[in-house]
């Protein structure tokens, strides 16, 4: 048996390694995605006042600090048994929409677009955002930077800091919004909507009008028949901040729908000896291994799964795009992994539209910012769930009577997708690496495309070395000896 | 408000053992140079986000951890763009590398600093959550503080070597 190692993976957060085992004939036998790091963040949180955690958890990850801040804030609300007043809830959600806008823009232009606009097997030196801009025009690059910056400015204004967010306190937020600030943000959000529409047009022109790309998305080795998870509002429409978690099965039927405090009844976590990252699965089905199909417990929590799990989008333009996406890709549920890129852009448009709804809501400049916890209430246990860009994010805290954290469980967005990522990689590798076919850098990139679609974020901490990671592929013979190396600088 | 002349930007997560050494050093330097025109900031982001922070400054000095496993903990190296070497946070493989970010910034007409320096400090542990430095870094930390202070002083006096290995 031969072994191919992709280590480390390019264009993802944190550290990970793909091991591809080949048969003697050169076909793919099995694929393992390994996360060889253990950070112990949950342990670090123990012994600290629960109201401090929302600020500490922003330092888990520099990519989605706002998501951890929101999930943590909601968990702290639950620990103290208080619901924020409408103004506070809407400010939180407005902040969160800006967080989604900046993150989804970055993912599309820096991580997804290079594979489509420049080409999946193009020269790696050009297959990046600069290559994208060379193709679509420098003015697009200017807009990318501008819209990202505006989204960050909105987060900094509402959240106190764009990365080290400090807005949430149990039962509310620290600071409100002045009318002049509201007017300024409203103008900026109009730009978000235009830019989201423009980005969808690029996707339309470059991807959907290219028969080969559509064929790659729909018929390529990038489909996985698994269940879909996502947060929905009371009308079963997509919501990122609040609602119930809904799971639909591989046929599109509702498997379950649960509140945050019920998550342990529906989701269990499996440990494998070869990875530090756990493998969540649907508890009522059980763990049946790394297999897809209706009887499997494997699910995904991604932009695509969120759209699969919902009955629609809560804003008009996003709803139209939602309908177009499912019509084009063959109806619900869509199981084409690369469809995640389109779903992410539908979410970008939704985030922009929802932000506009919130900024024009009279409550947004309200003065009632916190429902203070009652001094007679004894803090105990609380769970907060939001949709992070990379999947459903759960924070579960147990405290003593003084509100000091005794135990923490966090299921980060990417963790939900751990089994699905392993299976997607295997499927892509089996479809692309065959006996007699030279394993080129382009083929390896196409294997990685299965992985990048999930927008994975493994370390949940912003550190890496080196920053622009090389790709090293080692070919080993049956006895493990190195017979060939491909290196991408 | 300070002028947009010199920015010292400390990078790193202070609750990840040695990872936050850049941020901690920057906070110390902000006190030592509190009467200067230098702007001091800390963060733990890279790639796109750095562009937005450095836009408009003439000179930027990054202070960041690096874990090459080739040097002794505490070794400090000063880089510029001509001999650039990656550190822990400058690039963000979730979006773009630092050098790509600079190129993107220039292409799109941003005011990218004329002078960019990176003070890189070799660290030992940057993946375990802890509020304390590793013992090895603790031992040499006073020397590191002094070295960084000397570099910043040199920058103020515009007397900076293109590359120096301090210790």
Give the tens place of pLDDT for each residue, A272-297. Answer: 877 777 899 999 999 999 999 999 99
- In 3D space, the residue among A195, A232, A163 whose CA is nearest the CA of residue A352 turns out to be A195
pLDDT score of A434 more than 90: no
Find out whether the peptide bond into A466 is cis, omega within 30 degrees of 0. yes
Residue A477 lies in a domain: no
Residue A468 lies in a domain: no
In the numeric block, the tokens 């109009």 are attached to: A190
Residue A37 pLDDT level (bands cut at 50, 70, 90): low
- In 3D space, the residue among A20, A40, A42 whose CA is nearest the CA of residue A31 turns out to be A20
User: Which residue did the predictor score with more confidence, A413 or A30?
Assistant: A413
Q: So what's the pLDDT on residue A157? A: 96
Q: Does A468 touch chain B (CB under 8 A)?
A: yes
Q: Nearest C-alpha of chain B: how many angstroms from A463? A: 5
Q: Nearest C-alpha of chain B: how many angstroms from A202? A: 19
pLDDT score of B86 more than 70: yes
Q: Does B24 touch chain A (CB under 8 A)?
A: no
Q: So what's the pLDDT on residue B112? A: 93
pLDDT digits (tens, 9 = 90+) for B7-60: 999 999 888 899 999 999 999 999 999 989 899 999 888 888 899 899 999 999
Q: So what's the pLDDT on residue A62? A: 65
In the numeric block, the tokens 């304390």 are attached to: B132
Q: Does A378 touch chain B (CB under 8 A)?
A: no
Computed over every residue of chain B, the mean pLDDT equals 88
Computed over every residue of chain A, the mean pLDDT equals 87
For residue A49, what are the domain limits?
2-461
Structure tokens at B141: 């930390």
How far, in Å, CA of A338 to CA of A327, rounded?
16
Number of domains into which chain A is organized: 1
CB spacing of B93 vs A10 below 8 angstroms? yes
CB spacing of B15 vs A44 below 8 angstroms? yes
Q: So what's the pLDDT on residue A447? A: 82
Q: So what's the pLDDT on residue A11? A: 37
State the average pLDDT over residues B68-75.
89
| pTM given for the model | 0.89
Tell me which residues of chain B, numbers 113 to 142, contact chain A at a CB-CB cutoff of 8 Å: 126-130
State the average pLDDT over residues A137-163.
93
Residue A477 pLDDT level (bands cut at 50, 70, 90): low
How far, in Å, CA of A56 to CA of B60, rounded?
28
Q: So what's the pLDDT on residue A338? A: 92
CB spacing of B49 vs A163 below 8 angstroms? yes
Could you tell me if the ipTM is greater than 0.90? no
Residue A123 pLDDT level (bands cut at 50, 70, 90): confident
Q: A107: which chain B residues are within 8 Å (Cβ-Cβ)? A: 95
Q: So what's the pLDDT on residue A469? A: 35
Residue A449 lies in a domain: yes
Q: Does B87 touch chain A (CB under 8 A)?
A: yes
pLDDT score of B143 more than 70: yes
Residue A486 lies in a domain: no
Residue A1 pLDDT level (bands cut at 50, 70, 90): low
Residue A100 lies in a domain: yes
Residue A475 lies in a domain: no
How many other C-beta atoms lie within 10 A of the C-beta of residue A341? 25
pLDDT score of A479 more than 60: no
Q: Does B1 touch chain A (CB under 8 A)?
A: no
The CATH number that applies at residue A395 is 1.10.645.10
CB spacing of B43 vs A465 below 8 angstroms? no
How far, in Å, CA of A54 to CA of A62, rounded?
14
Q: So what's the pLDDT on residue B57? A: 95
How far, in Å, CA of A464 to CA of A264, rounded?
33
| Cβ pair B114, B58 in contact under 8 A | yes
Q: So what's the pLDDT on residue A127? A: 85
Q: B109: which chain A residues are within 8 Å (Cβ-Cβ)? A: 142
Q: So what's the pLDDT on residue A35? A: 62
| Cβ pair B26, B12 in contact under 8 A | no
Q: Does A47 touch chain B (CB under 8 A)?
A: no
pLDDT score of A219 more than 50: yes
Tell me which residues of chain B, numbers 39 to 78, contact chain A at a CB-CB cutoff of 8 Å: 43-49, 51-52, 65-68
Q: So what's the pLDDT on residue A475? A: 52
Q: So what's the pLDDT on residue A255? A: 98
Residue A332's region, left for phi above 0, alpha for psi from -120 to 50, else beta, is beta
Dihedral sign, Cα of residue A232, residue A233, residue A239, residue A242: negative
pLDDT score of B162 more than 60: no
Listed range (A400-409, A444-453, B41-50) with the worst mean pLDDT: A444-453
How far, in Å, CA of A24 to CA of A422, rounded?
22
Q: What angle do CA A95, A97, A102 make, to 5 degrees?
A: 100
Instruction: Look at residue A245 and give its three-state secondary structure.
Output: strand
Q: So what's the pLDDT on residue A6? A: 53
If you count residue pairs, one on A and one on B, with CB atoms under 8 Å apart, how many are there? 136
Q: So what's the pLDDT on residue A260? A: 97
State the average pLDDT over residues A24-41.
70
Residue A476 lies in a domain: no
How far, in Å, CA of B41 to CA of B27, rounded?
8
CB spacing of A145 vs B126 below 8 angstroms? no
Residue A480 lies in a domain: no
State the average pLDDT over residues A169-181.
97
pLDDT digits (tens, 9 = 90+) for A345-372: 999 999 999 999 999 999 999 999 999 9
């Amino acid at each position: 048996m031969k072994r191919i190692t992709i280590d480390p993976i390019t264009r993802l957060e944190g550290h990970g390694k793909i091991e591809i085992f080949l048969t003697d004939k050169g076909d793919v036998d099995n694929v393992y995605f390994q996360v060889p790091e253990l950070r112990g963040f949950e342990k670090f949180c123990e012994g600290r006042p629960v109201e401090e955690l929302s600020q500490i958890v922003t330092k888990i990850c520099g990519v989605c600090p706002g998501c951890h801040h929101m999930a943590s804030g909601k968990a702290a609300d639950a620990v103290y048994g208080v619901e924020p007043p409408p103004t506070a809830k809407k400010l939180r959600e407005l902040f969160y929409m800006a967080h989604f806008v900046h993150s989804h823009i970055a993912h599309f232009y820096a991580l997804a677009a290079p594979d489509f606009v420049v080409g999946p097997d193009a020269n790696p030196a050009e297959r990046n955002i600069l290559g994208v801009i060379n193709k679509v025009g420098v003015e697009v690059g200017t807009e990318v930077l501008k819209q990202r910056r505006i989204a960050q400015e909105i987060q900094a204004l509402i959240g106190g800091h764009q990365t080290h967010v400090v807005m949430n306190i149990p039962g509310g937020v620290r600071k409100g919004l002045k009318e002049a600030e509201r007017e300024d943000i409203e103008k900026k959000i109009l730009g978000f909507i235009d830019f989201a529409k423009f980005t969808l047009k690029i996707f339309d022109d470059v991807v959907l009008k290219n028969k080969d790309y559509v064929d790659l998305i729909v018929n390529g080795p990038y489909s996985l028949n698994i269940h879909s998870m996502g947060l929905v509002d009371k009308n079963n429409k997509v919501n990122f901040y609040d609602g119930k978690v809904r799971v639909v099965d591989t046929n599109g039927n509702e498997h379950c729908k649960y509140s945050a405090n019920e998550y342990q009844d529906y989701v269990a976590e499996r440990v494998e000896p070869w990875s530090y990252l756990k493998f969540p699965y649907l508890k009522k089905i059980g763990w049946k291994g790394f297999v897809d199909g209706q009887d499997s417990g494997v699910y995904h929590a991604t932009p695509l799964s969120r759209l699969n799990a919902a009955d629609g989008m809560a804003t008009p333009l996003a709803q139209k795009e939602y309908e177009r996406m499912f019509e084009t890709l063959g109806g619900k549920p869509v199981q084409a992994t690369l469809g995640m890129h389109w779903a992410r852009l539908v979410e970008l448009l939704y985030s922009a539209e929802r932000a506009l709804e919130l900024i024009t809501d009279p409550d947004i400049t309200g003065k009632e910012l916190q429902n203070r916890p009652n001094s007679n209430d004894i803090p105990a246990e609380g769970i907060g769930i939001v949709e992070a860009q990379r999947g459903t994010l759960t924070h579960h805290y147990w405290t003593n009577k003084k509100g000091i954290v005794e135990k923490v469980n966090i299921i980060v967005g990417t963790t939900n997708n751990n089994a699905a990522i392993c299976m997607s990689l295997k499927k892509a590798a089996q479809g692309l690496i065959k006996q007699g076919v030279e394993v080129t850098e382009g083929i390896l990139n196409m294997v990685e495309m299965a992985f990048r679609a999930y927008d994975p974020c493994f370390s949940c901490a912003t550190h890496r070395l080196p920053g622009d990671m090389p790709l090293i592929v080692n070919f080993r013979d049956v006895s493990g000896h190195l017979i060939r190396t491909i290196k991408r600088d | 408000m300070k002028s947009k002349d010199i920015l010292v930007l400390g990078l790193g997560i202070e609750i990840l053992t040695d990872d936050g050494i850049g941020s901690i050093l920057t906070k110390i330097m902000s006190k030592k140079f509190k009467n200067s025109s230098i702007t001091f900031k800390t963060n733990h982001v890279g790639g796109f986000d750095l562009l937005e922070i450095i836009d408009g400054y003439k000179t930027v000095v990054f202070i960041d951890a690096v874990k090459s496993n080739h040097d002794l903990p505490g070794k400090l190296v000063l880089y510029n763009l001509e001999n650039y070497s990656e550190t822990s946070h400058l690039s963000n493989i979730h979006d773009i590398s630092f050098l790509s970010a600079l190129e993107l910034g220039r292409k799109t007409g941003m005011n990218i600093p004329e002078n960019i320096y990176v003070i890189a400090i070799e660290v030992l542990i940057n993946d375990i959550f802890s509020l304390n430095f590793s013992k090895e870094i603790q031992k040499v930390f006073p020397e590191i503080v002094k070295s960084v202070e000397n570099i910043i002083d040199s920058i103020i006096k515009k007397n900076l070597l293109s590359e120096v290995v301090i210790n």
